[in-house]
Structure 1
Amino acid sequence: MLKMSMKTWLGWVLMLCHACLITGQIGGGHGKPTRYHFSLLLPAATTECFFQQVEQNWDLHFSYQVQRVPGFQDVSLSAWVTSPVGTREGIVLNRPFGKISFTASASGDFKFCISNISGTYGEKQVYLNIEVSCNTMVAEKYVAANDTLTDIQRFQRRRLSKFFLKSNMAAILHDL
């Protein structure tokens, strides 16, 4: 069984954390936004909802626009976003277009809904845009954490090299 000192174990843990930060395994890729753009046919008197996993303090933007309706019917829709804990983060009522932007108050699955309840006579073609991105302040915290980990690793390497240098010198002197 391999035995490791606490210092060696801590060094490995810090290197693993550093690798996760660099590869984007923590923090969703450092500010690279996730975007979804699509059109859908929203049947009369229905509501459609979509879910997106989001981290706390990330920025969300949800927008829609009615592209086409049959005949001369009402072009308005309603839209809202609900947080994982059930609170409404934003709402737009009875408009042909709208935008909801906010910073996530909690981590989890956010629910994006669009409703054609007022359109009882036909479907509407709707363009949707959902964008999720790492908040700049959060990204700066990850960069600061990354810099701190780099400093700790440098310190750890210097200490280990001094330790091994002393150990090797002691072994050489002992053999003489």
Structure 2
Amino acid sequence: MNICGARSCGSSWICFVASCAFLVETLWAFGQSRDTEFTFLLPPGRIECFYQTTTKNGTMEVEYQVIGGAGMDVDFTIFSPQGHQLSSDFRRSDGIHTVEPTEDGDYRICFDNSFSRVSEKMVFFEVILEGHAGDAGGDDEWASMVEPESMLGYKLEDIKESVESVHVRLERSRQMQTVLRAFEARDRNLLEDNLWRVSFWSCLSLLVMLGVAVTQVYTVRSLFNDKRRVPT
């Protein structure tokens, strides 16, 4: 299939625009399939595991945050496809772990809340895959789709590198915004929890102060209230 062949397009400018648009859509489709983000509730006394399929000689980055729940902490572990423990955290609120190079198979990502018997935790995590299948075949695919001589002086490789650079920066911006939203959710939950505690103890202190005031008034009045009869 030729995108910009002489028979496919009558105008070189239309060919150029169509090629760039198709390139952006293709790169965006590749980028969408490599990142995964998920937010879930981890019940007390439970362990939840998720599986991520990877290919050989790639990179997998896992970032997690506890955004709700008492203590704001969980245990975290990554297991290789063979069952070996690769990374772990003990009662942490957030963390970032990178596996490089990856192997063929399913990596197991586990969150442990078994140490808590009462409080559930809300956990956000994101898995970023880089250098996996689909990236390396881009050059050959474009070489078969587009005829270099039909670009009228434009270098397809330069255009591809520029669009890829823009796409990588946009993906990093999106990932940073996602992380910032998770931080915001965690801080909001923490503030709401602290507000409830402050309000509760403030009301309790106010009731204690009122009780002490009433007791003092009653005690002082009882000192001056002598009901004994005085003979005249």
For Structure 1 versus Structure 2, the TM-score category normalised by the shorter chain is 0.5 to 0.7
2:74 maps to 77
Identify the residue that residue 40 of structure 1 maps to in structure 2: 40
The aligned amino acid for 1:129 is E
How many equivalent residue pairs?
Answer: 115
Q: Is the CA contact 2:38–2:126 (under 8 Å) kept in the aligned structure 1?
A: yes
Contact preservation (8 Å) 1:54, 1:104: no
Equivalent position SS for 1:39: strand
1:99 pairs with one of 88, 96, 100 = 96
1-structure distance, mates of 2:128, 2:110: 14
Query: How far apart are residue 101 of structure 1 and its match?
Result: 0.9
Q: 1:143 and 1:81, CA in 2 relative to 1: closer, same or farther beyond 3 A? A: same
Cα distance in 1, alignment partners of residues 35 and 54 from structure 2: 12
Query: Runs of 5+ in structure 1 lacking a partner?
Result: 1-28, 151-176
Question: Residue 125 of structure 2 aligns to a residue in which SS?
Answer: strand
Moved runs in structure 1, 4+ residues, more than 3 A?
Answer: 29-33
Q: Which runs of 5 or more structure 2 residues have no equivalent in the other structure? A: 1-28, 145-232
Which of 106, 109, 117 pairs up with 2:106? Answer: 109
What is the aligned-residue RMSD (CA, Å)?
2.8
Please state which structure has a larger fraction of its residues in helix: 2
* Aligned-partner SS, 1:131: strand
Distance 1:31 1:66 in 2: 26
**1:67 paired residue number:** 67
Structure number with bigger Rg: 2
Query: Using the alignment, how far apart are the partners of 1:118 and 1:63 within structure 2?
Result: 21
1:130 matched to which residue of 2?
Answer: 127
- Larger RCO (CA under 8 A, 6+ residues apart): 1
Deviations 1:136-159 (A, max 9, x none): xx956x578x49x98xxxxxxxxx
Q: In the alignment, is the contact (CA less than 8 A) between 1:79 and 1:91 conserved in 2?
A: yes
Contact 1:63 1:98 (C-alpha < 8 Å) held by counterparts? yes
Q: Measure how far apart 1:114 and its partner are.
A: 0.9
Partner Cα separation in structure 2 for residue 84 and residue 106 of structure 1: 7
In structure 2, the CA distance between the partners of 1:119 and 1:31, relative to structure 1 (3 Å rule), is: same
> CA offsets per residue over residues 59-96 of structure 1, 9 Å max, x none?
11111111111xxx322111111111111222122101
Give 2:45's aligned amino acid: A
Counterpart CA distance in 2 for 1:107 and 1:100 is 18
State the percentage of identical aligned residues.
Answer: 22
